[in-house]
Amino acid sequence: ILKNHISIITLLRPGIIKVQNDGNFKEFFVQDGAVEFFNDSLVVLSASAINVKDLSKEFVDNLNEDTQDKLTDKNITDHDRYVLNHKLDALKEIRV
């Protein structure tokens, strides 16, 4: 987010968050949450943020399978379908 960006609060969709600290980057996988940007500060709220380096192939495969199963539900809402598809896209980016 650019400096002096307008204040914003929005939902966080599943994906990879890159955090820079002293020139080093860490990547975290998040499944949901919220983002607030105010006075040039960014706050990310999520029930879980897992360091990508700590993800196992088994965990990613199981989460991928579970997400695909949820997409087959005939009663799924458009919003849930949107979020689940983003989760699948994020899982494809993870190389374990």
The reply to whether 45 falls in a domain is yes
| Each residue's pLDDT tens digit, 38-78 | 988 889 999 999 999 999 999 999 999 999 999 999 999 99
Query: What predicted TM-score, i.e. pTM, was given to this entire model?
Result: 0.79
Range of the domain at 77: 8-93
Q: In a 10 Å sphere around its CB, with 0-12 CB exposed, 13-18 middle and 19+ buried, how is residue 30 labelled? A: buried
Q: How many domains does the chain have?
A: 1
Under DSSP, the state recorded for 40 is T
Q: Establish if 36 belongs to a structural domain.
A: yes
Helix (H) or strand (E) holding 26: strand 24-30
**Residue 17 pLDDT > 90, yes or no?**
yes
Find out whether 29 and 64 touch, Cβ atoms under 8 Å: no
Instruction: Report the CATH number at residue 73.
Output: 2.60.15
